[in-house]
Every structure is written in structure tokens, then in C-alpha cells.
């Protein structure tokens, strides 16, 4: 197991290098720059800004270290993501750190909703195969999987915020100053106290982001449960006199979890890192909204830093899922 983990960590290095290189070249291939304006800046000010951010050098050249790419890779090798071009005198790592706490709250909240609702709906559908509840579950799965989150978010805002006035739509209702990076801090535990949450602002973005994965979880859970319930060991367990709840929870659900875990890990990473549109629609100050703003502002530092951070997060999330396989299914071993 240890050797497998080390190999996976080593393979992350060329993965990150490839992502950084491709993103860097594509970003600079677009015409214009971070200081392009309708009213051009004075020539002296533009030269000073380009010199400060190394934009006066070629994007890439034979002398790699005397190019923008070489300077960026040198800083990245020292774990320095550089400064934001738009938010003056702010480090990219600081901006990501501040926004990620909000994005993480949103992503994990949507993931918890998707897991609980999706698994419950999938299990109920499988246990009532071809019955009314099964048809309800299949219908929800089809509708939920077919509707993009920004479209669903718009409908939720119009119906429940504008027309009914039940919820607020601007900002995020999670605890502020949540110190996710320091579990020993008293602020770390704010997220576990319900009184610190404003659910009038939390419910709609969580639903908008969580319905799509909930639909997929329900479909996969239903299919996996139907396959497991037809196995011989399930009939054997029932013939031994075990209660139906024991058969379902101890044998069926546990063995049906392996294919479900296959999609849970990537979806957790997707929900934490893929909330760009939901954060923009609901004006949530997370990393996703800042990334969208940085694209329009051509903030090279923020674009590169966010891409690298999300790539590393997804890579580690996939590694965690692979390790969970061995925990759920003892037959799986890594060497």
C-alpha cells in the first residue's frame, strides 16, 4: 500500500507540470493582456507594470529562465503562486485560501445532500422495483441529470426567492472567518454549530449544486442494489432467518457501495471545485466566482493559481477514493 501511494504521488508531478504548461501557453495565446484598457495606460506606467510582473520578457524562449514561463516555474518550484494582477498587493495563495473556505462549505454541503438524498432514493427504488416509488425515483434521476445547475438555480431564485420570498439569494450563509486551515483554532468549529448558519441563504445554492450528483447517485445506487439483491449470498442470508433490515444494511448496501464510491470521490472534487456558475448566480464569494472574474480581467496570476490548486485537489481526491476501495472491499489490494 505504501509503495502504491508513493508511486501515485510521484505521478502527480508530471501531471501538474503538463497542466501548468498547457494552461500557461493557452492563457498567453489570447490577444491582449491584464493591463489592456479601453483608455490605454501611460507608456511609463505600462512599462513599470510589465517589468514588475515579468511581462516585458518573451512568453517562452530558448533561454527558458529568461522568459515568463521560466520565471513562473521557478516561483512555483518554491511554492510561490505569485501576486494577483487585479487585486493589488495580494498574494494569489491568500486569495485562494480566503475563497476556498467558502467554496468548501458550499461543496461539502451539496455533497452531503447529494449522498443522503441520492442513496436513500436509490435504495428505496431498488427495494420497490417496478413499483410506484421506483418510478418516482427514476423520474427524479432523469430530470435531475438533465438540468444544468445554473438553470436550476435560476428557477429556484425566481420561484422561492422572488415570487414566494422564502429565501435570500445574495451571498453565502455559512459561518464567516471559518479557519479551515487550523483545526486547533476555535474558529474551526464554527462550521459545526447550526446557529452560525443562515439557512435562508444556504438552501437554494446547495440545492442548485447538489441535485445533479444526487440524481446520478440515485441511478447508480439503484442499479448496484438490484444487482446485489439478486446474488446467491443474499438469498442465503434470508434463508438463515436474518431480518430484512439486517440483510439490506449488512449485506446488500455494503456490497453495493463499491461502484458508488467510484463516482463519489470525483463528484466531491467536482462539487468543491466546480461551483463556478452557482457561485456567480448566487453571488457567493468563493474561489469559483473569483476565477470567473479573473478570466474577464485576464488576471494571469489568479487563473494559474486556481488551476494548479484545483488540479492538485482533484488528484488527491481521486487517490483518496482509490484507498477507500480497499477499506470497503477487503478483496481489493494495492501493491
Question: Do 73 and 114 fall into the same domain?
Answer: no
Output the pLDDT for position 332.
Answer: 63
Question: Do 130 and 241 fall into the same domain?
Answer: yes
Supply the range of the domain harboring residue 304: 100-328
Question: Do 271 and 319 fall into the same domain?
Answer: yes
Question: Do 146 and 239 fall into the same domain?
Answer: yes
85 occurs within a structural domain:
no
Domain boundary among 77, 110, 132: 77
Domain boundary among 43, 77, 111: 77
More confidently predicted of 329 and 54: 54
68 occurs within a structural domain:
yes
DSSP single-letter state for residue 91: B
Q: What average pLDDT does range 33-56 have in this prediction? A: 75
Output the pLDDT for position 330.
Answer: 62
93 occurs within a structural domain:
no
95 occurs within a structural domain:
no
Question: Do 58 and 115 fall into the same domain?
Answer: no
Question: Do 180 and 50 fall into the same domain?
Answer: no
Output the pLDDT for position 18.
Answer: 93
Which residue, 279, 269, 281, 274, is CA-closest to 312? 269
Output the pLDDT for position 206.
Answer: 93
Question: Do 18 and 127 fall into the same domain?
Answer: no
Question: Do 67 and 107 fall into the same domain?
Answer: no
94 occurs within a structural domain:
no
**CA pair distance 210, 107, nearest whole angstrom:** 8
pTM to 2 decimal places: 0.81
**Residues in Cβ contact with 33 at an 8 Å cutoff, skipping those fewer than 6 apart:** 55, 298
The x, y and z cell numbers of residue 240, run together, are 438463515
Domain boundary among 10, 44, 77: 77
89 occurs within a structural domain:
no
Output the pLDDT for position 314.
Answer: 84
Question: Do 181 and 47 fall into the same domain?
Answer: no
SS3 content of the chain, % helix, strand, coil (to 5): 70, 0, 25
H-state helical runs in 32-91: 43-52, 68-77
Question: Do 184 and 239 fall into the same domain?
Answer: yes
Q: With 90 as the cut, is the pLDDT of residue 276 above it?
A: no
Query: What percent of the chain lies above the pLDDT cut of 70?
Result: 95
Question: Do 57 and 139 fall into the same domain?
Answer: no
288 occurs within a structural domain:
yes
Question: Do 275 and 223 fall into the same domain?
Answer: yes
190 occurs within a structural domain:
yes
Q: How many domains does the chain have?
A: 2
96 and 309 in contact (C-beta within 8 Å)?
A: yes
**CA pair distance 262, 266, nearest whole angstrom:** 8
Q: What is the CATH number of the domain that holds 313?
A: 1.10.3720.10
Amino acid at each position: 500500500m505504501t509503495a502504491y501511494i508513493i508511486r501515485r504521488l510521484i505521478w502527480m508531478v508530471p501531471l501538474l507540470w503538463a497542466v501548468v504548461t498547457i494552461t500557461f501557453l493557452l492563457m498567453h495565446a489570447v490577444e491582449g493582456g491584464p493591463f489592456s484598457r479601453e483608455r490605454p495606460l501611460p507608456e511609463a506606467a505600462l512599462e513599470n507594470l510589465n517589468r514588475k510582473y515579468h511581462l516585458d520578457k518573451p512568453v517562452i524562449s530558448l533561454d527558458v529562465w529568461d522568459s515568463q514561463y521560466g520565471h513562473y516555474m521557478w516561483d512555483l518550484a518554491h511554492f510561490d503562486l505569485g501576486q494577483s494582477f487585479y487585486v493589488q498587493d495580494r498574494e494569489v495563495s491568500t486569495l485562494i485560501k480566503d475563497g476556498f473556505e467558502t467554496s468548501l462549505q458550499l461543496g461539502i454541503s451539496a455533497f452531503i445532500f447529494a449522498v443522503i438524498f441520492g442513496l436513500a432514493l436509490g435504495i428505496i427504488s431498488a427495494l420497490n422495483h417496478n413499483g410506484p416509488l421506483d418510478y418516482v425515483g427514476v423520474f427524479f434521476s432523469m430530470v435531475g441529470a438533465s438540468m444544468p445547475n445554473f438553470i436550476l438555480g435560476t428557477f429556484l431564485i425566481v420561484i422561492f426567492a422572488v415570487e414566494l420570498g422564502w429565501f435570500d439569494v445574495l451571498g453565502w450563509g455559512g459561518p464567516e472567518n471559518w479557519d479551515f486551515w487550523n483545526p486547533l483554532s476555535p474558529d474551526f468549529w464554527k462550521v459545526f454549530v447550526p446557529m452560525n448558519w443562515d439557512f435562508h441563504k444556504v438552501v437554494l445554492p446547495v440545492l442548485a449544486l447538489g441535485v445533479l450528483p444526487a440524481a446520478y447517485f440515485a441511478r447508480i445506487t439503484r442499479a448496484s442494489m438490484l444487482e446485489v439483491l439478486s446474488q446467491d449470498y443474499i438469498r442465503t442470508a434470508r434463508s438463515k432467518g436474518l431480518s430484512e433490515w439486517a440483510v439490506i444494511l449488512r449485506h446488500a448496501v455494503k456490497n453495493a457501495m463499491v461502484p458508488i464510491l467510484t463516482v463519489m470521490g470525483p463528484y466531491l472534487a467536482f462539487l468543491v471545485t466546480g461551483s463556478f456558475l452557482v457561485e456567480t448566480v448566487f453571488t457567493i464569494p468563493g474561489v469559483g466566482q473569483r476565477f470567473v472574474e479573473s478570466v474577464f480581467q485576464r488576471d494571469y496570476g489568479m487563473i494559474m493559481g486556481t488551476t494548479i490548486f484545483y488540479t492538485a485537489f482533484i488528484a488527491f481526491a481521486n487517490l483518496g477514493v482509490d484507498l477507500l476501495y480497499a477499506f470497503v472491499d477487503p478483496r481489493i489490494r494495492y501493491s
